[in-house]
Amino acid sequence: MNKQKILLVISTLILIIGVFGYSYYQNIFGDLVTKDGAIYIGSNETINDVEKELFDFLGDDNNFNWLAQQKKYLNPKAGKYILTKGMSLNDIINLLRSGNQTPVKVSFNNQDTLEKFSGRISTQIEADSISILEIFKDPVFLKNNKLTESSVLGILIPNTYEFYWNVSAQKLRNKLLKEYTKFWNKDRLAKANAVNLTPKEVMILASIVQKETAKASERATVAGLYLNRIKRGIPLQADPTIIYILKQEYGQEFQVKRVLYKDLKISSFYNTYLHKGLPPSLISMPDISSIEAVLNYKKHNYIYMCASIKKIGFHEFASSLKQHNSNAINYQRWLNKQGVNR
């Protein structure tokens, strides 16, 4: 073989090796991720499952499984992982192998039952609604914290919290209890004591205020009215407690636009027309504005209120029965005209 042929063979080999080397480098270290996004790796997922999760970012023509074996990434770590456009396959495996997951924002409000709360949370973390519900109803947990299945809703302060996506139901519960304890700082405890209420009682009253009005601007006035009634030994006569009883009886989807006189006679400790003081536990999940409304209630002489027909969604307040009866008659006539019978 002459010298020219030898050089040609060597050049060809170098070219082949170069092309192969470049292709190898590009497959492993080159820009591969086509878009920004996140993947969620479950606690029991395998490498094959992770590869499927990556399909939308890498397509099926990649060396993920092979490189994972080479880098000994054999046992996936659960969590939410952020992928950015231009990441290489090597970058991805280094990220997943490190377990450096990104926390998720978990938020909730207006979840009137533990079941609804559990369902809402289960859409934001890995744990399912059943496991969340069971952990909050755990008898040992309830006993240790002097709670019941009815009152445990009161430790849930609606807000946005940060968790890892694969947080266990137990760790979720324990952190939310810790946040509840932190919420009741010295200032709030002093304000609760000033109105002769415990934190749990504040939460109960706030749950009524929450359901009485959707208008945050009048919640302090409503809270002040209820506190006036408590101080004077007058039953709260809060329609939301009656609606709560009806929903407990007929289901959460039962619609009540009008409380009837017969409803006021229902035998229940939650019936604030029959029983003075607060009901046994919350009737809804109060948000922070309702809690603060009770702690920072507006001082006035009102002891009556009725839904307003002039400002829909608001209330007409009164300090005399005569004025209240006038407001109530106007409201009942308006309901009749609207054809609202229930």
3-state secondary structure the chain: CCHHHHHHHHHHHHHHHHHHHHHHHHHHHCCCCCCCEEEEECCCCCHHHHHHHCHHHHCCCCCHHHHHHHCCCCCCCCEEEEECCCCCHHHHHHHHHHCCCCCEEEEECCCCCHHHHHHHHHCCCCCCHHHHHHHHCCHHHHHHCCCCCCCHHHHCCCEEEEECCCCCHHHHHHHHHHHHHHHCCHHHHHHHHHCCCCHHHHHHHHHHHHHHCCCHHHHHHHHHHHHHHHHHCCCCCCHHHHHHHHHHHHCCCCCCCCCCHHHHHCCCCCCCCCCCCCCCCCCCCCCHHHHHHHHCCCCCCCCEEEECCCCCCCEEEECCHHHHHHHHHHHHHHHHHHCCCC
* 299 shares a domain with 238: yes
Task: Using the structure block, give the residue that is written with the tokens 């969604």.
Answer: 313
Residues 6+ apart with CB under 8 A from 25: none
Q: Give the end of a domain, one of 48, 67, 98.
A: 98
Structural domain harbouring 140 = 104-183
In a domain, 9, yes or no: no
- What does each of the 342 residues of the chain score in pLDDT, given as a tens digit? 566 665 555 555 554 554 444 445 456 766 788 899 999 999 999 999 999 999 888 866 678 888 899 989 999 999 999 999 999 999 999 999 999 999 999 999 989 999 999 999 999 999 999 999 999 999 999 999 999 999 999 999 999 999 999 999 999 999 999 999 999 999 999 999 999 999 999 999 999 999 999 999 999 999 999 999 999 999 999 999 999 999 999 998 898 888 999 999 999 999 999 999 999 999 999 999 999 999 999 999 999 999 999 999 999 999 999 999 999 899 899 988 888 877
* 140 shares a domain with 66: no
pLDDT on residue 32: 83
In a domain, 21, yes or no: no
Q: Give the end of a domain, one of 157, 183, 209.
A: 183
In a domain, 87, yes or no: yes
In a domain, 26, yes or no: no
* 333 shares a domain with 191: yes
**pTM exceeds cut of 0.95:** no
In a domain, 170, yes or no: yes
* 155 shares a domain with 39: no
**Number of domains present in the structure of the chain:** 3
* 321 shares a domain with 240: yes
In a domain, 118, yes or no: yes
In a domain, 7, yes or no: no
Q: What is the CATH number of the domain that holds 85?
A: 3.30.1490.480
pLDDT on residue 21: 46
* 210 shares a domain with 312: yes
pLDDT on residue 337: 87
What's the token pair of residue 252? 């959460």
C-beta neighbour count of 4 within 10 angstroms: 8
What's the token pair of residue 82? 């952020």
283 touches 241 (CB < 8 A): yes
Q: Give the end of a domain, one of 161, 183, 205.
A: 183
* 318 shares a domain with 243: yes
* 209 shares a domain with 277: yes
* 308 shares a domain with 291: yes
Task: Using the structure block, give the residue that is written with the tokens 């609202």.
Answer: 340
* 38 shares a domain with 156: no
* 334 shares a domain with 200: yes
In a domain, 22, yes or no: no
How far is Cα 275 from Cα 130, in angstroms, rounded to an integer?
Answer: 35
How far is Cα 38 from Cα 323, in angstroms, rounded to an integer?
Answer: 60
* 142 shares a domain with 35: no
